[in-house]
């Protein structure tokens, strides 16, 4: 899954630089991922378009089983506290049972972390 998200990252970065792309598991019962995304070119006005762009790349790259392991895509602005917290970690970092933004994250993969963007 993480390797495939590196491919997805490359395709997404074709549109422009990405501040953060991360996979988070926060659910106590269902073992599903939340895709967290932040980019300077993603705004509130084009959020639906950005969502569809990310979703299409995911559906194109992952198989049906892997897609079913993703609960949703969360697109945030740079000022969102969760984004600030996740940007403390570098690209490639894998986290287990960390408290982030006040919530227990069971598992996290930071695919891209670029605070300078």
Match 């969502």 to its residue by tokens.
51
Residues forming contacts to another protein in the complex (CB under 8 A) are: 26-30, 32, 47-48, 51-52, 55, 58-59, 64, 67-68, 70-76, 82, 101-103
Shortest reach from residue 28's CB to another protein, in Å: 7
Q: Taken in order 76, 61, 9, 70, is the CA torsion positive or negative?
A: positive
30 burial type by CB count under 10 A (0-12 exposed, 13-18 middle, 19+ buried): exposed
Whose Cβ is closer to another protein: residue 18's or residue 62's? Answer: 62
Shortest reach from residue 24's CB to another protein, in Å: 10
Shortest reach from residue 87's CB to another protein, in Å: 16
* Whole-Å CA distances, 17 to 10, 50, 75, 88: 10, 13, 15, 18
Whose Cβ is closer to another protein: residue 90's or residue 103's? Answer: 103
């Amino acid at each position: 899954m993480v390797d495939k998200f590196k491919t997805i990252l490359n395709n997404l970065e074709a549109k422009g630089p990405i501040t953060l792309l991360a996979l988070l598991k926060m659910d106590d019962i269902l073992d599903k991922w939340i895709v967290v995304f932040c980019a300077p070119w993603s705004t509130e006005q084009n959020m639906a378009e950005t969502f569809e762009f990310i979703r299409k790349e995911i559906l194109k790259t992952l198989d049906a089983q892997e897609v079913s392991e993703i609960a949703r895509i969360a697109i945030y602005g740079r000022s969102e506290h969760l984004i600030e917290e996740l940007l403390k970690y570098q690209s490639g970092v894998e986290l287990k049972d960390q408290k982030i933004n006040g919530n227990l994250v069971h598992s996290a993969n930071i695919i891209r972390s670029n605070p300078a963007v």
